[in-house]
Structure 1
Amino acid sequence: MELRQLEYFQQVCRLGSVSRAAAQLHVAQPSVSIALQKLEEELGVPLFDRKQRRLRLTQAGERMLQHAEAMLRCRNNAQEEMKDYEASRKGRILLGITPVIGAFVFPSLFAAFHAAHPDIELQCTETGSLATRRKLLEDELDLGLLIISDAPPGLALRPLAQSAIHVCLSPAHPLASATTLSLPQLAKEPFLLFQEDTYMRQLILEECSRHGFTPQIRFSSRQIETILSLVEQNAGVGFLPADIARKHPRIVSLPLTPPLSIQAGFAWNEERYLSQACRVLLDFCEKRTNEKFEQE
């Protein structure tokens, strides 16, 4: 059994097609077909049900895929660890950042980290928390800086900060003079929410459902400034971490009752080797966050 065969097998499973897997791997289609045939001959069981138009895994194939992914991950981890010995504290980190947490936690940390560790490159991708979690579990990112509340199994977590969620209103809104607001009080209000791949949106919609209503979503955006601008113009109500909402004097931010909160932090695939560069970033951010809270 060769690792190349397992790589081909894994790609065919992911894409459901020998031809698409060959194109993804940049090899000839017969090479993939022969590798799969030899793998099945060596194992002595069929891995695919070829009666269907789309390749489907047999029960043995499903089990073999688990073994293949574990072996390939072990190979990748070994390679990354060996690179670390050579690179020491240099390297590149593929970091997923969510819009909310990016604005809430990251800007000051990024500048300070770059000044302290100029040889470590941060290659950042902005997606919602739910999409970032998926990318971490599929090994597309090294680390994620995101909302870690209710994180799924398979992710290791390093908490950084917690914040209450506030309702954001225009000063001209009839409810702007309240001291707190409950979601049922907002049932007839148009909502301005983050896009569907975000945990904040999921949390708000789940809480609305728990209170027996489905809100009217007037606008969805990935940009905090867009939502704040629409709130300011009284186009609807938004929801943001209190630490962000309070910084904008042209809107009114009110706590929810009962309160809702989110936990910000780092996450990574617990089965993946965590590079030295990633460990440096985690330790640096944790230290900076602790110092900030001690000063406050």
Structure 2
Amino acid sequence: MSYQLRRLEEALGLPLFERGNGRLRPNPAGRRLFGCCRDMGRDWTRVRDALREPAPDHAPPLRIAAVSGYGRYVLLPLFRDGPLADLPIRMRFPTADDVAREVEDGACDLGFVHVLPARSRLDCRPVGTEEIVLAAPAHSPAPALDLAALRRMRFVTYDESDYVFATWFTQVLGASPGQLDVAAHFEELEEVLDWVAAGRGLSIVPADCLARYPRRGEVAAVRKPGSPCRNTVYARLPPAGGVHPAVERTLAVVRAASAAARP
């Protein structure tokens, strides 16, 4: 016992006992250590008792990270009052890079992004497509779908809009516009559409976002006839093990909803 106590003092870097006449008495540091150990014993007892309790009957919430436009306007209705309304969820709307990072770190069970990563150890599955449209103020004449004309217009951008804009210009007009005249930049799409409705500029957004915009009569979707612009949406899953039991059901519902929404 004496050897073990000396090793403890060496590990802590200070004496814990007063030694004399063959007896050991705790010094002030030793008495404080005793109090800490007593608290640790109570904490350990609580941990032991919690682990011995039977597991709850219900599954833990499904933790989802999704890029904002898809998460807010496509996923949320499925969980709010759609076929997944019985599932408890925790949903966040970070950037596409952060979605992948949170799934990889185990902070989320399932992620949704609109960009195919170049390299990742995560499981990546296409789950559907979303239409991308040019958003313009409804009270003004529709802008011409001409690259030179659009370069002279002002635009409202948002976080994650670079990829969306590039996809639309490439598919619809066959070329990148280069540097655009940006009237304003926002984090979320609702503020973007407010700015468009006020005639402050054009934007390029997912059609689902525009369809659910509260003032949608004030913003018009401009499409090239016969050539809808569509972008693939991907689910990001952990590479192996620990998959939440509701993940596969969620993916099946999302795929079905995406297929039903296509014309």
Show structure 2 runs of 5+ residues with no match. Answer: 1-10, 13-54
Given the alignment, which residue of 138, 148, 151 partners 1:187?
151
Following superposition, the deviation at residue 250 of structure 1 comes to: 1.1
Match of 1:146 among 98, 105, 113: 113
For residue 201 of structure 1, what is the aligned residue in structure 2? 162
1:250 corresponds to 2:218: yes
Q: SS of the counterpart of 1:91?
A: coil
Rounded to whole Å, the distance in 1 between the matches of 2:261 and 2:164 is: 26
Query: Would you say the 8 A contact 2:128–2:254 is kept in 1?
Result: no
Q: 1:170 aligns with which of 118, 137, 142?
A: 137
C-alpha separation in 2, matches of 1:90 and 1:212:
49
Report if the CA contact (8 A) 2:137-2:199 is conserved.
Answer: yes
> 5 Å matches for 1:1-296?
90-111=59-80, 112-113=82-83, 115-117=85-87, 121-147=88-114, 149-154=115-120, 155-174=122-141, 176=142, 178=144, 181-195=145-159, 198=160, 200-205=161-166, 207=169, 211=176, 213-246=178-211, 248-255=216-223, 260-271=229-240, 273-287=242-256, 289=258, 292-293=260-261
Kindly indicate whether the alpha-carbon contact (under 8 Å) linking 1:167 and 1:256 is maintained by their aligned counterparts in 2: no
Per the normalisation by structure 1, the TM-score is 0.56
1:286/1:88 CA distance change after superposition, 3 Å: farther
The ranges of structure 1 where at least 4 consecutive aligned residues each deviate by more than 6 angstroms after the TM superposition are: 86-89
Cα 1:88–1:159 shift into 2, 3 Å: farther
* In structure 2, distance between residues paired with 1:177 and 1:139: 45
Contact 1:170/1:231 (CA < 8 Å) preserved in 2?
yes
Amino acid at match of 1:136: V
SS in 1 for 2:78: helix
Question: Alignment length, in residue pairs?
Answer: 201
| Cα drift, residue 211 of structure 1 | 3.0
What does residue 22 of structure 1 align with?
none
Question: For the Cα contact (< 8 Å) 1:99–1:222, is it kept in 2?
Answer: no
Task: Please give the root-mean-square deviation of Cα atoms over the aligned residues, in Å.
Answer: 3.4
Give yes or no for contact 1:165–1:256 (8 Å, CA) kept in 2. Answer: no
Q: CA deviation at 1:293?
A: 4.9
In structure 1, the residue corresponding to 2:89 is in which secondary structure? strand
Amino acid at match of 1:253: A
Structure showing greater radius of gyration is 2
Q: Is the 8 A contact 1:156 1:268 kept in 2?
A: yes
User: CA–CA distance in 2 between the matches of 1:238 and 1:156?
Assistant: 32
Report sequence identity in percent.
15
2:189 is matched by which residue type in structure 1?
I
Q: Which runs of 5+ in 1 are unaligned?
A: 1-29, 32-85
Query: Structure 1 265/213 Cα, relative in aligned 2: closer, same or farther at 3 Å?
Result: closer
Deviation of 1:114 (Å): 5.2
